Amino acid sequence: MKVGVVFGVSELANPKVFEKKTSEFITNLAKDFEVVGGFFVSTKKDFKEAKEEVNFNEVDAIVLYPLTGGTEGSLKEFAVYRRPIVIHGDPFNNSLAAGIELREYFRERLIPSTLVKDFNELKAALLGYEDMKETLDKFLRMRLGLIGRVSPWLINERFELPYTSISLKKFYEYYDKVTDEEGWSAVEEIVSKAVEIKEPDRIALTKAGRIYVAIERILRDYNLDGFTIGCFDLIGKIGSTPCLALAMFNARGIPAACEGELNSLLGMMIARRFFDRPAFMGNIADYGDDYLLLAHCTAPLIGRYVLRSHFESGTGVGVDVQLPKGRASLLKIRGRKAVVAGVEVVGQEHSNMRCRTQVKLRLENAVDFVDGTLGNHHLLVYVDENALADLLSDLGFEVMLY
């Protein structure tokens, strides 16, 4: 197991005072692990110099040892590598105080972080990460993209994980290079398999296809595993929405969320990477004592579907998908918190006063669930709720299971 080691020292302290302690620490650690680094870091400049000498992306875990207080600002920079962290503290020089502060900083960013104060605990923590290497790598090495902006009505959206930001200006550059022929070709098979086509005409369908091709090229060029897009901003510019494109990507196995919501995208990524299942991202449209109704204008194309317009704008191409009946889970992520509920998909509704895909779920104590959840958008995933909750806990989420 390859372990990176970094020592934090306050700018007010003399690193030479700690040379014997740090030398013994590295010697002991090297008996069981391949050790790289061993730098003293006091400032962000020191971090940048350490970054040039060692590629911490290649280590299996990072050990941070704040030898004094006042080291949080420089040591927190190692979050950029998204590797499991073990923080070693000791009872002197405010070392443990700094360690506790650092641990919460990393955990808020969903980076596994453990605080220890002796070598046996340190070794056990590292070996624990080694046992979970495959799971943690799947999670920590996701490449997420945001095209455009987070929709302004998502007032509870908070996201601390790294992602690639792509401006709508850049998206339009890609879109303008896609021909009508390429756009129609992208959706022709989807159109042919639709049960019915209501509002959209060939022009609308071709625009939807051009959006799909443009995003597909962005994913390739930016090496993204999944994306979310600030979709409503497209309506005024090109008179269309990405609803159909998102439905197609989710059916293909590429997580795609709307409204620029990164937390929903993260949930979709987890569902796909660990369970190989797509997720339906929906609004809570109605609820009662034992039921919940989710609705949205995009849904993975995993059942019979009708092509509609986008509900709010009457433009673009939305989808009304007949999602399969059966057991599933409802998931909401916000920051490091997650809510999970076991549900039964019992049917569809087709009101013209709601978003196009409308799925009815049986959920005991639905009123309590709505009262305790973390915001609007929820993901419907066809996985066992206990397995999903256990995985989320392993990944560092605080999970409420209904």
Note the pLDDT tens digit of each residue in 373-394: 999 999 999 999 999 999 999 9
Structure-token pair, residue 111: 């980076």
Q: How confident is the model at residue 102 (pLDDT cuts 50, 70, 90)?
A: very high
What gap in Å lies between CA 385 and CA 402, rounded to an integer? 9
The number of beta carbons lying within 10 Å of the beta carbon of residue 30 is 13
The amino acid sitting at 339 is: V
Write down all domains in the chain, each with its CATH number in brackets: 2-139 (3.40.50.10940), 142-401 (3.20.14)
Kindly report the average pLDDT of the chain as a whole number.
97
Q: What is the pTM of this model?
A: 0.94
Q: How confident is the model at residue 32 (pLDDT cuts 50, 70, 90)?
A: very high
Q: How confident is the model at residue 317 (pLDDT cuts 50, 70, 90)?
A: very high
Please tell me whether residue 143 adopts helix, strand or coil conformation. coil
The amino acid sitting at 314 is: G
pLDDT digits (tens, 9 = 90+) for 342-381: 999 999 999 999 999 999 999 999 999 999 999 999 999 9
Which pLDDT belongs to residue 33?
97
Phi, psi at 146, each rounded to 5°: -115, 115
Which pLDDT belongs to residue 313?
96
What gap in Å lies between CA 19 and CA 23, rounded to an integer? 6
What gap in Å lies between CA 208 and CA 298, rounded to an integer? 12
Q: How confident is the model at residue 60 (pLDDT cuts 50, 70, 90)?
A: very high
Query: How distant, in Å, are the alpha carbons of 217, 277, 315 from that of 300?
Result: 20, 10, 20
Which pLDDT belongs to residue 170?
98
pLDDT digits (tens, 9 = 90+) for 145-184: 999 999 999 999 989 999 999 999 999 999 999 999 999 9
Which pLDDT belongs to residue 159?
94
Which pLDDT belongs to residue 37?
95
